[in-house]
Amino acid sequence: MMDLDGPWFIERATNRTVLFRGVNVGGGAKLPVGIPSHVNDGYWIDHDRNISMVGRPFPIEEADDHLQRLVVLGFNLLRFLVTWEAIEHEGPGIYDQQYLEYVIQLLDKCKAFNLKVYIDPHQDAWSRHCGGSGHPGWTHSLVGLNPLNFQVTNAAIVHNLYPEPDQFPKMIWNTNYQRLAASTMFTLFFAGKIYAPKCHVNGVHVQDYLQSHYFRAIEALTNRIHQHGGLEDTTVLGYDTMNEPGQGYVGLLDIRNLRDNDLDFKKGLMPTAFQGMVLGSGYATHVQNWKFTWSGPKKVEDVYVDPQGTSAWLSEPELEAADRSFGWTRSDAWSPGCIWALHGVWDKETQTVLQPHYFSMNPVTGEPADYSQHWIQFLQSYAKMLRSIHREAIIFVQPPTLETPPKIPTSLPRLVYAPHWYDGLTLVKKKWCSYNVDVINLSRGKYGTGPMRFLRALRLGEKAIRQCFVDQLATIQQEGWDNVGPYPCILGEIGIPYDMEPAKSNALQVLWGWILFWCVYSETGQASVIGTPEAPQNKAMDANLNALEANLLNYTLWHYVPDNDPIWGDRWDGEDLSIWQSEGPPSYGGSSRTLVDEVSHGKYKKNPDISPWNDESDLESASDDQPTARLIPDTNVRDVISLHRPHPWKVAGIPVSIQFISPTNRHHAAYFFTYKRREDELVSGPTEIYVPTCHFATPESDDKKKTKISLSHGYWECKVINDHYWILLWWVDDKEAGSQFELKLECI
């Protein structure tokens, strides 16, 4: 059981502070079996009902191997992705029992490996059908949309409908939040009763219909976990609200303009809300074209777009067929075609705007629109549903990404603020630059107004960039404290793109890199110079993790995809952020692994200890009845050095500071950790620190490199787990003088 005490997770049995170092498992769960996002075969046949996500993110028979990899890397928490589509893809109220059983089996595996989990109902830009992931295809049919026509009408940019999927622009999928399909769906889901009052189906408003089915789908999973027994609170700590929810059109000041924020991500063709409605009904119009620059998005030109009469909305016969298929009866006032024309926002005959400020206020009361009110109502209903089953479930609160969170009612207990943050410049440009921008504080007004604020937010050089990351996460963390409440903060997503441009080096750096590669990395099986200290991936990862540690933040990295592909990356919308890529063919759908007994760099021996976490705190070796890693994972060709770093899993007090100095071509690694006593609180058990042997050999090792351990107080013990990591147990007697204690690890 996990308690919450201010900013800390507390292990109830021992009163020790828990710091979570976790990973998302994983992006592969966004996709049905055999249908990566670039594949068009079988797309949108029978409303995409006949799909399966059993075996995503990986088959159950491979789970031991995958979970063992994550244990070896020092992770003690999984953000466990599920989707509404996976549960209810066949139609409203029809739940995929095989998928629910698969999830239970996988959670049992997590329990066996002593990994904590929180469930993430994941979505991006509503669904796969409008260029994202998450929600069932039938939801589009419900509101009268036709996904086959989203690409040509610019209602969404869809990978498998793109003319050349291998040329799909990087990160352009994120612009789908602002396009017709996703904007319509989110508006109806969160605020449809206000902005689309004519849309009733089967006697209820479409907003209630959508939300109730979302709740019931997650409720079906929550009930299965509850009825299975032994998973609540011990393994499953709680539930995310909804991954990166969209605001739809709610709060849009003028449908003739893009949102009045020059920091909003814009790339490619960017229709305004009105232009999107016009295009969605088959009419031609001019649309702005944008590119991404160092200071943010810049408009390039206007482009004439002509869908030639093709509509993103179902025709009357198509809508009637969908209604018969799913048993829907619509209100007489809900006619086929554009919902927003139906409600008088614009006129199809003249293609003119009638109510440009329709979404900026409540059309009934005239009060300013406030998306946060709708989202908080959703949060309250969602939490009530969950806690009617899992009574002490922690709710991981996630409002729209990168936005300041709204004030959460104090009546909601046991919350954790779970925002996301990425270094957007690196993510979009796919390179580690010598400059960056303090985007979060820029968007919060720290640097004033006008064009000069971009220069004031500019950071030059690696040291300034690293501090910039620290500052941004500090702001995010403080906003959670101020608005969500005095609760822990966990970065639900943070990560780096691995498909980055190689770093530019001078001749001396190139020579040193080759010497290092051939004399060191080639001996240990390292397959790529991505594993060298100067690799841009290593620098980016180290800067991200350093910012998390500097703020003492819990986190779950984005992400682990075992079937990550050298060509298609994560197999979803051109992204490539997986911390793992096999040197051979992807393991999903076929294995190229072999049984081995010897351990080499990046490979794991059979039957290692599987316990990164032990509730009894005895840290005994794995017993015969525990699962074993039966097959040996292939070498990870993106084995970034800085990902391997010590981490305090459990602390016999309150953490004060963490600093890891990643090894470079000239310096060995070093690690510093400080904590203080918990005042008037009895703590049992030692501080437990995960230590990777690639940087810090076990004290009794005969390795040429030795580990020097320095303590300000107490004594230490070494618990050897396997050839890849060990646990440092640090004991400080309650009677020892001092209230703050320091540890230092040095590779000498």
Distance CA 519, CA 513 (A): 10
pLDDT higher than threshold 90 for residue 557: yes
Q: How many CB atoms lie within 10 A of CB 543?
A: 23
Q: For residue 446, what are the CA distances in angstroms to 159, 423, 456, 470, 731?
A: 37, 18, 9, 15, 44
pLDDT higher than threshold 90 for residue 156: yes
Q: Provide the pairing of β-strand 236-240 with 394-397.
A: parallel
pLDDT at 722: 84
pLDDT higher than threshold 50 for residue 574: yes
- Average pLDDT, stretch 185-214? 98
Q: What type of residue sits at position 450?
A: G
413-432 tens-digit pLDDT? 999 999 999 999 999 899 99
Q: Write the CB contacts of 365 (distance below 8 Å, at least 6 apart in sequence).
A: none
Q: Which residues make beta-bridge pairs with 17?
A: 10, 651
Could you tell me the pLDDT band of residue 294, with boundaries at 50, 70 and 90?
Answer: low
Write the DSSP string, 626-675.
S----SBPPPBTT--GGG---EEEEESSEEEEEEEE---SS---EEEEEE
pLDDT at 503: 64
Distance CA 60, CA 103 (A): 9
Q: What type of residue sits at position 744?
A: K
Q: Is the peptide bond before 66 cis (omega within 30 degrees of 0)?
A: no
Query: Please, are residues 59 and 587 in contact by the beta-carbon 8 Å criterion?
Result: no
- The angle that helices 180-195 and 273-280 make with each other, rounded to 10 degrees, is 100
Distance CA 367, CA 731 (A): 59
- Average pLDDT, stretch 351-372? 94
- Average pLDDT, stretch 381-387? 98
- Average pLDDT, stretch 349-373? 94
SS3 content of the chain, % helix, strand, coil (to 5): 30, 20, 50
Q: Which positions are catalytic?
A: 244, 493
Q: Which of 1-10, 372-381, 626-635 has the lowest mean pLDDT?
A: 626-635
Q: Which residues make beta-bridge pairs with 2?
A: 11
- Average pLDDT, stretch 83-98? 98
Could you tell me the pLDDT band of residue 353, with boundaries at 50, 70 and 90?
Answer: very high
The 3-class secondary structure across 317-369, one letter per residue, is: HHHHHHHHHHCCCECCCCCCCCHHHHCCCEECCCCEECCCCHHHECCCCCCEC
Distance CA 415, CA 395 (A): 5
Q: Write the CB contacts of 366 (distance below 8 Å, at least 6 apart in sequence).
A: none
What is the residue-averaged pLDDT of the chain?
Answer: 89
pTM of the model: 0.91
Distance CA 338, CA 354 (A): 14
pLDDT higher than threshold 60 for residue 511: no
Query: Please, are residues 581 and 637 in contact by the beta-carbon 8 Å criterion?
Result: yes
- Exposed, middle or buried, 728 (CB in 10 Å: 0-12/13-18/19+)? buried
- Average pLDDT, stretch 637-644? 93
pLDDT higher than threshold 70 for residue 88: yes
Could you tell me the pLDDT band of residue 634, with boundaries at 50, 70 and 90?
Answer: low
pLDDT higher than threshold 90 for residue 83: yes
Cα–Cα–Cα angle for 413, 415, 416, nearest 5°? 160
Percent of the chain topping pLDDT 90: 79
pLDDT higher than threshold 50 for residue 13: yes
474-504 tens-digit pLDDT? 999 999 999 999 999 999 999 999 999 886 6
Could you tell me the pLDDT band of residue 281, with boundaries at 50, 70 and 90?
Answer: very high
pLDDT higher than threshold 50 for residue 289: yes
- Exposed, middle or buried, 272 (CB in 10 Å: 0-12/13-18/19+)? buried
Could you tell me the pLDDT band of residue 600, with boundaries at 50, 70 and 90?
Answer: very low
Q: Provide the pairing of β-strand 204-205 with 352-353.
A: unpaired
Q: Any idea how long the chain is?
A: 748
pLDDT at 617: 40
